[in-house]
Amino acid sequence: VFEKVPGAPEDVIFALTSAHKADPFPNKVNLGVGAYRTEEGKPWVLPVVKKAARIMVNDDSLDHEYLPILGQDAFRKAATQLILGADSKALKEGRVGSAQCISGTGAVFTGAQFLARHYPIKGATCYISKPTWANHRAIFEGVGFTVFEYPYWDAKTKGLDLKGMLIIMEMAPAGSIFLLHPCAHNPTGVDPTPDQWRQIADVMAAKNHFAFFDCAYQGFASGDLDKDAFSVRYFVERGFELFVAQSFSKNFGLYSERAGNLTIVAKTPKIKDQIESQIAKAQRAVISNPPAYGSRIVSLVLSDKDLYQEWNQNLKSMANRIIEMRRLLFNELTRLKTPGSWNHIVDQIGMFSFTGLSAPQVKVLKEKYHVYLTDNGRISMAGLNTKNVQYFAQAVDDVVRN
């Protein structure tokens, strides 16, 4: 019956992980997937996560019963407080809802699916940044939206194209949906400044656009959880109704546990309840109810003063190692006098650097040097360490010159 089903292309990011794994070359480097690595190039189970897991093993009150459809209450409360701030007016007014989802992807999907079914403007378009994480387009198109791009990356300045972004926001039909990265933009590592966020909010408010934030890197960008939440909190203060997809994959290193949350800021508590009820109905038909393990770790750490502090230290050590790798890579390229300007490597923040390398250059990096990165020139900074950064810089120097 399925002879006519065409084969689909492999996911580019996961394909890089498999290709790297299969490569026998001893000095191979994986700068593909956005997953933290230690100085030894190994995945890192955060010490605070290990501690929380040990506490849970000895907690006889925990069992493997189903969670409620919208997830674990303590987790949802902790997650919404983390992103909005415990003193958020919207929280106090009881108009913030949430749904525990299958990490960030699940949260974006859940929000997108709700919008596809219930957004009042029929035929509304979703705008994503150019470039963005490939899954954004896949998710929004998957639930039936037409997806357009707004300018974001300025190849000339290797920074934000604010002007282009604002022009498109002004030109977009009123009430369009804009997917925004609150911090550590994936793939560019370029974020608007607070003043630029104010300008973005001005246009979005004037045009009645809907803001959907995808927050995968809170605390990971700067090491400061509040600073990384600035844009979301600012939009909430300005009175926007909005969605925030939160992932705890990166900032807790809980990649495979799929711990995520969709925070919903509604106009009134009643509207919040209406939205949550629809999301519960939809969630039941897709995952029935979310998994418990990762969310229990997150809520335990977020609700305990000592564990919370330790988590902050763990976060800072990841953020700082990445910042240090940016500095080392920049220094190496400067030492080698690699043609071009490389300041953007140190100016960008978060997990990724958007190097400006072209697809043909990336191909040579892969084939000649066994360095794996996405074709758009994005590198996962965590894949670098003091042992491979020179090798990588040499390889970049070679492909840029030839």
What is the closest distance, in whole angstroms, from the C-beta atom of residue 1 to ligand LMR in the complex? 32
Residue number with the smallest Cβ distance to ligand LMR:
34
Q: Does 33 bind ligand LMR (CB under 6 A)?
A: yes
Q: Which of 397, 313, 327, 354 is nearest to 158 (CA)?
A: 354
Q: Does 13 bind ligand LMR (CB under 6 A)?
A: yes
Q: Given the complex with ligand LMR, which of 85 and 350 has the nearer CB atom?
A: 350
Q: Which of 371, 375, 398 is nearest to 29 (CA)?
A: 371
Q: Does 392 bind ligand LMR (CB under 6 A)?
A: no
Q: Tell me the CA distances in angstroms from 158 to 43, 155, 161, 163, 282, one per residue in order.
A: 30, 5, 9, 14, 41
Q: Given the complex with ligand LMR, which of 34 and 71 has the nearer CB atom?
A: 34
Q: Does 113 bind ligand LMR (CB under 6 A)?
A: no
Q: Measured between alpha carbons, how far is 223 from 76 in angstroms, rounded to an integer? A: 22
Q: Is-contact 107 247, C-beta < 8 A?
A: yes
Q: How many CB atoms lie within 10 A of CB 64?
A: 6
Residues within window 180-209 making contact with ligand LMR, judged by CB under 6 A: 186
Q: Is-contact 246 83, C-beta < 8 A?
A: yes
What is the closest distance, in whole angstroms, from the C-beta atom of residue 134 to ligand LMR in the complex? 7
Residues tagged active-site: 133, 214, 250
- Candidates 133, 210, 248, 369; binder of ligand LMR (CB under 6 A) is 133
Q: Does 322 bind ligand LMR (CB under 6 A)?
A: no
What is the closest distance, in whole angstroms, from the C-beta atom of residue 14 to ligand LMR in the complex? 7
What is the closest distance, in whole angstroms, from the C-beta atom of residue 79 to ligand LMR in the complex? 18
Q: Does 34 bind ligand LMR (CB under 6 A)?
A: yes
Q: Given the complex with ligand LMR, which of 139 and 297 has the nearer CB atom?
A: 139
What is the closest distance, in whole angstroms, from the C-beta atom of residue 184 to ligand LMR in the complex? 11
- Tokens (6 digits) for 267: 């106009």
Amino acid 123 reads G
248: exposed, middle or buried (Cβ count in 10 Å: 0-12, 13-18, 19+)? buried
Q: Measured between alpha carbons, how far is 63 from 70 in angstroms, rounded to an integer? A: 18
Query: Hey, is 264 helix, strand or coil?
Result: strand
- Tokens (6 digits) for 354: 């958007």
Q: Given the complex with ligand LMR, which of 36 and 311 has the nearer CB atom?
A: 36
Q: Given the complex with ligand LMR, which of 246 and 338 has the nearer CB atom?
A: 246
Buried b (16+ CB within 10 A) or exposed e, 199-222: bbbebbeebebbbbbbbbbbbbbb
- Tokens (6 digits) for 111: 């929000």
Q: Given the complex with ligand LMR, which of 168 and 180 has the nearer CB atom?
A: 180
Number of residues lying near ligand LMR (CB under 6 A): 5
What is the closest distance, in whole angstroms, from the C-beta atom of residue 13 to ligand LMR in the complex? 4
Residues that bind ligand LMR (CB under 6 A): 13, 33-34, 133, 186
